[in-house]
Amino acid sequence: MIDAQSHLTEEERQAVADRSLPAEHLPLIEAHLRDCAVCAGDVARIRTLMTHVTEAPTPTTITPSLDELWPAIRTRIETSKVVPLSPNAIRLDGRRRARRVGSSIALAAALVIAAVALGLRARAHGSTSTAQVADTASLIAVADSAHAYEEEAQTLLNQLELRRSMLRPEAVVAIDHDLRVVDSAIAELKEAIAHDPTNPALRRLLASSYRQKVDVLKRVGNAS
Amino acid sequence: MRGACSSVTLAALCAASGVAAQGSAAGLPVLRARHATSAPQVKMFNPAGSIRVVGWDRDSVVVRGRVANGEAFYLVGNDTSMKLGIKEHGDDQPMARCDLLIYMPRRSEISLKTVTADIIASDVSGWFYSVSGSVRLSGSATTIDVQSMSGNVDLDVVTPWVRARTGDGSLLVRGSPQDVDASTIGGTLSIASPAIARGQFASVSGDVHYAGAPLTGAILDFSNHSGAIDLSLARSVSGVFSLSTILGAIENGFSEIRPISSTPRSIRLSLGRGGAQVSVRTFKGTIRLRPE
Amino acid sequence: MNARVRGATEATATVNDVNDIDDVVRRAQRGDVGAFESLYRAHSPAIFALCRRMVGSDGEALDLVQDIFVRAWERLTTFRGQSSLATWLHRLGVNVVLEQLRSSKRDALRLIEGDDTTFGSRSPGGQVEARIDLDAALVQLPSGARTVFVLHDIEGYSHDEIAQMTGIAPGTARAQLWRARRTLMRLLDL
């Protein structure tokens, strides 16, 4: 029993200060605080701290500012993100380019058709599970990204052809070798997807290979 | 006489610094120093030989080294932004070997490029590129972005963020990087760090090796086309492992543990208390999951 | 005002219309980096404030802000709108900071043992130096006590929520909180 000779425990003082004390204990505690200046003073100081906390200004940054962080964040997310499809990305320019674009459009179309078929089948069965909706959406997304990667890779390949004579010989050998390896992988994956267009694992592997191809081509810029 | 004494002193300094001196020791020693702010931007270029960069706590950039006959060293700029290195000829003649040792403030933002020169750097951050030279980075950094066309890359760093790329060279990730994006085309990719919280590891035809136990809450993604992915896991491992392949094989060394799900080409397995999320996929490479 | 609500409403203002906010979030979820940049600019000050208080260093706080928004980009598709985006970001931010504290092996959640006079700045004469503000005082706490204090008294999480996030028992979290308050009271001359 709390009386004038004993004091509140640390738990009681802290709980009454931050108002987390269970309601049934409150009358006894408040009665003690009315009679005990030591405990009342301590509780008041804890409450002053809490007021101090509430009223303290929010930390702000000076240098570098949060604005200056954004380019680094953008770089990090763009090295891993799927490149979105640009509606005006297709520019027919030369038979080889048209053929490449054609094959990537065909792949994209096959994936979209597969995605729509998935959606229609789900609706026909009267249910569209979350997984099926996600699968359909991601099929469309990777169809978009496959096409976009192909476009980006073609742009970078065109730049490589223009700059080939300015590249160091050892760089040219390395680039050509790496591109052969990656293109071989992409060709195998495209063939597999043509036979199994709704396979999510194949889609992710294709996206990974495309990213690596674009990576290799971007490194060309530093090799001159 | 005074000039000869100076050359001897400088040569002794260079030798003491561990800078390699070649064969007939042709070439001139270089010793330059410049005041720098605490976080200068420093661009460096050395096509052939070696370049070693050390971060330190002084407000200066100091360059020591040996420059081959016929090559020219440059150091330009001011204390917030400078460029240094070996000037290119502008003709087709191969560049001769030059070896540089550079001390700079730890918080410097570096851009360092070589062709065949090897890069060794410690306690510095930034962008490191070599066409075919090897790259070895260690110490603490804020960010590391390292790329090589065909050189080997060896990372033993403490840093929040690493991006590492090489083609046919090998890539080794150690130390305590937190967020890692590493890939090779045909080279071997080896990861032996327990500190990685988020990791994306990929190859096309090179093998990928992971050894240890993922951090609780880590998210690791492994992808390979035709190379193998080999996870050698410590006894303390705790994670959910999702393995899938299109045409390859899965070798599960934890066969005594009942999988969450299993098909001929995929398996989902929870080890320990399942703290990390690890996904592994190949097109036709073998996936191996085994205890250390 | 509840601290957590206060933090959420501190988001600055290019996105203060509910419909606009929903549209920006949806676009960011679909991969629009420009939309995500708007969200970054709106919410990064509050996230920085959280990080700064939890780790006690501007440099580390800025590094964590980067990590948090990269993680937010990766996880944005999991945001379903059941809470406000600010609350979702805040929670994600706390988790990233706690991961950082754990992985940096700073023994983040050890109990404060012994005499509290080992903390804080005292001149040889035993007098506390000139009154210092709250953030300067927070830096002087051990990281475990600072974590619990920031999460409970500033950010408004309950002891049970803190226990869940940090992996320590609710009773331990309470003890950490009380000791943190006592130390701050001494440092702030209260």
* Residues C122-169: tens digit of each pLDDT: 333 333 333 357 878 888 888 788 889 999 998 888 888 888 777 778
Chain C residues in contact with A72 by the CB 8 A cut-off are 66
Residue ranges of chain C whose CB lies within 8 Å of a chain B CB: 63, 66-67, 70-71, 74, 99-100, 103
Adjacent-strand bridge partners of B175: B157
Which chain B positions have a beta carbon within 8 Å of C63's beta carbon? 142, 160
How is C129-154 classified by DSSP, letter by letter? -S---HHHHHHTS-HHHHHHHIIIII
| Residue C58 to residue A56, Cβ atoms within 8 A | no
Per-residue pLDDT of chain B (292 residues; tens, 9 = 90+): 333 333 333 444 444 444 444 434 568 899 999 999 999 999 999 999 999 999 999 999 999 999 998 899 999 999 999 999 999 876 667 789 999 999 999 999 999 999 999 999 999 999 999 999 999 999 999 999 999 999 999 999 999 899 999 999 999 999 999 999 999 999 999 999 989 999 999 999 999 999 999 998 899 999 999 999 999 998 889 999 999 999 999 999 998 888 888 988 999 999 988 789 999 999 999 999 999 8
Give me the pLDDT at residue A199, please. Answer: 83
Please report which confidence band the pLDDT of residue A1 belongs to, taking 50, 70 and 90 as the band edges: very low
What's the half-sphere exposure (Cβ side, CA atoms, 13 Å) at A130? 1
Question: Is B273 exposed, middle or buried (CB count within 10 Å of its CB: 0-12, 13-18, 19+)?
Answer: exposed
Spatial separation of the C-alpha atoms in residues A10 and A29, rounded to whole Å: 12
CB within 8 Å: C63 and B160: yes
State the chains in contact with A (3 or more Cβ–Cβ pairs under 8 Å): B, C
pLDDT in tens, A96-108: 444 444 555 555 5
Domain count along chain C: 2
Q: What is the pLDDT of residue A187?
A: 93
Q: What is the ipTM of this complex?
A: 0.82
**Any long-range contacts for C116-119 (C-beta under 8 Å, 24+ apart)?**
C116/C179, C116/C182, C116/C183, C116/C186, C119/C183, C119/C187
Quick one: pLDDT at residue A223?
A: 66
Interface test with A, best of C29, C134, C151 (most A CBs within 10 A): C134
Q: Do C133 and C99 share a structural domain? A: no
User: Which of B90, B93, B137 is CA-nearest to residue B112?
Assistant: B137
Q: Looking at the domain assignment, is residue C110 inside a domain? A: no
- Please give the residue range of the domain that contains residue C141: 116-187
- Cα B288 vs. chain centroid, distance in angstroms? 25
C145 and C98 in one domain? no
C158 and C91 belong to one structural domain: no
Inter-chain Cβ pairs, chain B and chain C, closer than 8 A? 19
Q: Which of C6, C29, C40, C89 to mutate to test the interface with A (most CBs of A within 10 A)?
A: C40
Q: Which residues pair with B135 in a beta bridge?
A: B119, B153
* A151: amino acid identity, one letter: E
Mutate one of C178, C179, C187, C189 to test the A interface: name it (highest A CB count within 10 A). C178
Q: Is A124 helix (H, G, I), strand (E, B) or coil?
A: helix
Residues 180-209, chain B, touching C (beta carbon < 8 A): 195, 197-198
Same domain, C32 and C69: yes
| CB atoms A185 and B226 under 8 Å | yes
- Same structural domain for residues C25 and C66? yes
pLDDT tens digit sequence for A121-156: 545 444 445 445 445 554 555 555 566 677 778 878
What letter would DSSP give residue B194? Answer: T
With an 8 Å Cβ cutoff, are C103 and B142 in contact? Answer: no
Same domain, C89 and C129: no
Identify the CA nearest to C75 among candidates C96, C60, C61: C96
Q: Crossing angle of helices C33-55/A66-80, nearest 10°?
A: 120
How far apart (Å, rounded) are the C-alpha atoms in residues B161 and B195? 12
Residues 6+ away with beta carbon under 8 Å from C6: none
Which of B142, B176, B217 faces C99 most closely, judged by CB atoms?
A: B217
Give the CATH number for residue C41: 1.10.1740.10
* Residue that has been written with the tokens 């676009």 in this structure: C27
Shared domain check, C77 and C123: no
How far CA B205 is from CA of A191, B164, B173, B189, in Å, comes to 18, 17, 18, 10
The letter for the amino acid at C1 is: M
Residues of C in contact with A86 (CB under 8 A): none
* Nearest CB partner across the interface for B215, out of C66, C74, C103: C103
**CA A212 vs CA A75, A129, A187, A205, A215: distances in Å:** 16, 33, 14, 11, 5
The CATH number that applies at residue C124 is 1.10.10.10
Return the pLDDT at C77: 82
Closest chain C residue by Cα to residue B142: C63
Last residue of a domain, one of C50, C70, C103: C103
A199 token code pair: 């396979």
The token pair that represents C156 in the structure block = 């408004």
Separation of alpha carbons B270 and B259, rounded Å: 7
Domain ranges (residues) in chain B: 27-110
Nearest neighbour of B142 by CB, restricted to C63, C74, C99: C63
Query: Taking the alpha carbons of B21, B27, B28, B34 in that order, is the dihedral positive or negative?
Result: negative
